[in-house]
Amino acid sequence: MDARLDFVTGSDAPKAFKHLMAAGRELRASALPAATQELVALRVSQINGCAVCIDMHTKDAAAAGETAVRLNLVAAWREAKVFTEAERAALELAEEGTRVGDGAGGVRDEVWERAARHYDEEQLTALVVLVSFMNMVNRLNVITQQPAGDYVPGQFH
């Protein structure tokens, strides 16, 4: 499968893509724990069916020392014992933030409150921006049919 647009070498896309990648780098430098960032990015990408992002975040997380067990259980995090309460709260917020169109009201208050018990305002801001950023990037990649499998860990850092 060939991508519909080439975000890296296309005629107009590189300008916008460069800014998006800069935003992603800023998010990685945030106060939100790196492991949580990768788990959230992976879960949002799974929900949205973004193969290239699943490829990237799985490989980046593994390269950073994340275990295969945890990566394999992200899709079933509710039933898995391998995530901390803070990670579970972030994953729940990420799911509800990604599925806002599936139900009225958006993110429920109790979901927000669980996340707020584990993360300060700076971290919550980073988490909300990360969920929003991943949803945007997932949609860009799905719409343009970006192929997965060739990502090298750290390629866009």
- DSSP class of 82: S
Nearest to 32 by CA among 137, 121, 156: 121
pLDDT at position 67 is: 96
* Cβ neighbours around 26 below 10 Å, total: 12
Instruction: Indicate the pTM of the whole model.
Output: 0.92
pLDDT digits (tens, 9 = 90+) for 15-37: 777 888 888 889 999 999 999 99
Residues contacting 115, CB < 8 A, separation 6+: 89, 90, 92, 93, 124, 127
CA–CA dist 101, 104 (Å, integer): 7
C-alpha distances in Å from residue 28, one per residue of 3, 21, 32, 36, 144: 26, 11, 8, 10, 25
Percentage above 90 pLDDT, the chain: 73
42 has a pLDDT exceeding 90? yes
**Structural domains of the chain, ranges and CATH numbers in brackets:** 39-143 (1.20.1290.10)
Instruction: Give one DSSP letter per residue of 51-62, joined into a string.
Output: HHHHHHHHHHHH
pLDDT, tens digit, 9 for 90 and up, residues 73-119: 999 999 999 999 999 999 999 999 999 888 767 899 999 999 999 99
